[in-house]
Structure 1
């Protein structure tokens, strides 16, 4: 009976995906503060786009990154954490789309509510090819409140050349959805 209870508890934790976080920054099953999404890309019409907030911060490798540094370019902004299962699942998709659109589209990650060493290990393993701002306190994520629920991990935004939020996905993105949306915004 105990083995069955343990199995059910483990299954519940896995199904929870990116649930809430404990004080250590790690997910905690049953915490409903985190928002699940289906990963579908929602593209906004030009008239419905809002300006992206000015964000900047220290990257996981100690440099500084900002949206302003990519002014005039399409930017894919991905909110992730090393402890998030769906984030791990979508990492190869982001890496592949970033590689295929390099030159015309910039990618920037935002590592949210994570331990720096865990996030750095994630980046070494995934070799994303683009920088990530270390956002342990969640300030960068909060700047997007109203567009991305601060607790929606993973989330992906596409910022157009005018610095407006052109598309978003809550949840792990799929290759075709992301590539189609990036291509559409880039070719506008």
Structure 2
């Protein structure tokens, strides 16, 4: 049975933030950003809200119709954009947790590692309610966009936050890039790239 998917709007903001918060509370990268578990419970939702707002403004959030999963996507142009204006990494830290330099560090690291030479679809985050994981919801949300990528000849990119999660992405056609993103004294992230399948025929 297929998964019904719709585009999320502003009215879905709190649902998306809750989904992301639940799904990533125990994620290795979230644990590195907020090492204290009690503090993470109260502050982590602010980071997820900042990510949600950024994608609602500039990208697209796909939502399973039953509210059990969501995927945050950005369409990235093929040319580097000028760094005029305010520093987004600093803005993120100040909005989420002003005294926590790790919020700024993760933003800078991901920006520096992001490929800039080809237009692509960027899967920023995907979240499935913990009780619903393993049902294929995440794969269905990703395929929803990858099918369009294949039709339009667009590659896709993501950073997996754990080695375990890379297995799903590999099954969907993503492959490791040539380097990892290593957080200082913390976990490793795994940038992955997917060529459109139309280009391989």
Q: Please indicate the TM-score interval, normalised by the length of the shorter structure.
A: 0.3 to 0.5
Tell me the TM-score normalised to structure 1 length: 0.36
The structure in which a higher percent of residues are helix is 2
